[in-house]
Structure 1
Amino acid sequence: MAAHDIAVSDTRPPLDPLSERGWSLHRSESANADATVSELGKLGDRIGTRVGGRAGALEEVIEPHSADAAHPRSLSARYGLGALPFHTELSHRTRPCRYLLLGCIDPGSPAAATMLLDWQTLGFSPEELNLLEATPMLVRSGRRSFYTTILAPGGAFLRYDPGCLEAVDQRGRIALALIENRIAAASPQAHQWRQGDILIIDNWRVLHGRSPSDPASGRRLARILIDA
């Protein structure tokens, strides 16, 4: 076990390591896929309350899809098997989930990394933070579309998803360009998956994405979403 890995059976609160970098890596004590999914759920239930994902599912298995095979409102429908851009999970809802948990059932071959980027390291000035907090944006979510801002009041979380977030005026376009430019110049961390890995991501602090994937790689991750 690497020095930064934490066994699922560790009795320390699972949120402790998140305070340092916004995400933590845990290792399932079994390489069995069912055991990984079970332990993923146990970790999530120690943290908070599960939030329904697509179609209200409290536990999902996600895998790369080509654009024509993806859910029509997903990022995969736009980007397919190419790199998925950094985003905040559930940006299309009025309150994004607090934590995202991913468990590796199969890393795939060739494997695709999950990319992690703490938005607080992007060097926004006070004036830029004010722009992100004060500029209205449109979140497109079908009949549930709504207006909001990229930065929640008081900086509680950053809402960013190029698949659903749209500017409504010139200030909005400036705000989106600001984030896009900072992300392009950043140095994100890449997590290379191993079977049994479990990531806990502070979704209010860390944006995540995916490197390009192969259509027949076999990559499969279990996912649960948590409110806390």
Structure 2
Amino acid sequence: MATHDIALSDTGQPLGPLAERGWSLHCSKGTGADAIVSDLGKLADRLGTRVAGRAGALEEVIEPHGADDAHPRSLSARYGLEALPFHTELSHRTRPCRYLLLGCIDPGSPAAATTLLDWRTLGFSSEELDLLEGTPVLVRSGRRSFYSTILAPGGAFLRYDPGCLEAVNQRGRMALALIGDRIATASPQAHHWRQGDILIIDNWRVLHGRSPSDQGSSRRLARILIDV
């Protein structure tokens, strides 16, 4: 799978690039952690309403964890410091957040890239879209587990996360295998973090992942989730 680097957005209007390609890249005017988080929050609040993350916080700082140190139901618990697969943020909830904002406090050494993939570029036929929209799968979320389809009605968003989606029949296995096969042959884009970078991702359109990381790399990203 080849990856292509992404370039800094030349506009201060986040909705323009988001509508065009599903993500936009900006740079904080400050260099300290507080300034970066502040600029991240200003962009986030222009887009919509903040949504609590897994730990219940409206603003989080995330870093790579080994499997033993990760939240038991997170992707890191399964993949640890290996590459994290492409996924939709908050797939384990009935409505995934619309936007994911990440701000780089420290890129770490060695740095781990964030990878991006627009699911609309995966070349699904109309029959394959019908399969994704019409086949129920189990969404594992502890006591709040529920049934859903991978593709929301009308194609509003793709719910995909190999850590929480489980097929309940042969068609479900076909649907999950279809996405996995298309991702394996796709050409995603990669962002190699620099301190102060801010990445806004349309979570309903663009899947994201992470390249492998090292224990103690010091990589730290501020994260805010937004709904509209």
User: What's the TM-score bracket when you normalise by the shorter of the two chains?
Assistant: over 0.9
The reply on whether 1:186 has 2:197 as its aligned counterpart is no
Runs of 5+ consecutive residues of structure 2 not aligned to the other structure: 1-5
Tell me the equivalent position of 1:116: 116
Query: SS of 1:36's equivalent?
Result: helix
CA RMSD of aligned residues (A): 1.2
Query: SS of 1:78's equivalent?
Result: helix
Deviates more, 1:122-131 or 1:15-24: 15-24
The reply on whether 1:201 has 2:201 as its aligned counterpart is yes
Query: SS of 1:218's equivalent?
Result: coil
Q: Is the 8 A contact 1:6 1:27 kept in 2?
A: no
- For normalisation by structure 1, the TM-score amounts to 0.96
The reply on whether 1:106 has 2:110 as its aligned counterpart is no
Letter of the 1:43 partner, please give it.
L
Q: Is the 8 A contact 2:27 2:196 kept in 1?
A: yes
**What is the CA distance between 1:5 and its match in structure 2?**
3.0
Tell me the equivalent position of 1:75: 75
Deviation sequence 1:66-114 (CA, Å, 0-9, x none): 0001010100000000000000000000000000000000000000000
* Alpha-carbon distance in 1 for matches of 2:74, 2:201: 20
* Alpha-carbon distance in 1 for matches of 2:118, 2:95: 19
**What is the CA distance between 1:138 and its match in structure 2?**
0.2
**What is the CA distance between 1:4 and its match in structure 2?**
3.2
- For normalisation by structure 2, the TM-score amounts to 0.96
Q: Is the 8 A contact 2:50 2:58 kept in 1?
A: yes
Written as runs of structure 1 = structure 2, the 5 A alignment for 1:41-190 is 41-190=41-190
Runs of 5+ consecutive residues of structure 1 not aligned to the other structure: none
**What is the CA distance between 1:3 and its match in structure 2?**
6.9
Letter of the 1:78 partner, please give it.
R
Query: SS of 2:26's equivalent?
Result: strand
Tell me the equivalent position of 2:9: 5
* Alpha-carbon distance in 1 for matches of 2:27, 2:45: 17
Query: SS of 2:41's equivalent?
Result: helix
Letter of the 2:165 partner, please give it.
L
Query: SS of 1:5's equivalent?
Result: coil
Letter of the 1:45 partner, please give it.
D
Identity %: 83
Deviates more, 1:16-25 or 1:141-150: 16-25
Q: Is the 8 A contact 2:98 2:202 kept in 1?
A: yes
Tell me the equivalent position of 2:3: none
**What is the CA distance between 1:178 and its match in structure 2?**
0.2
Query: SS of 2:43's equivalent?
Result: helix
Letter of the 1:4 partner, please give it.
L
Q: Is the 8 A contact 2:9 2:17 kept in 1?
A: no
Query: SS of 2:183's equivalent?
Result: helix
Deviation sequence 1:133-158 (CA, Å, 0-9, x none): 00000000000000000000000000
**What is the CA distance between 1:189 and its match in structure 2?**
0.3
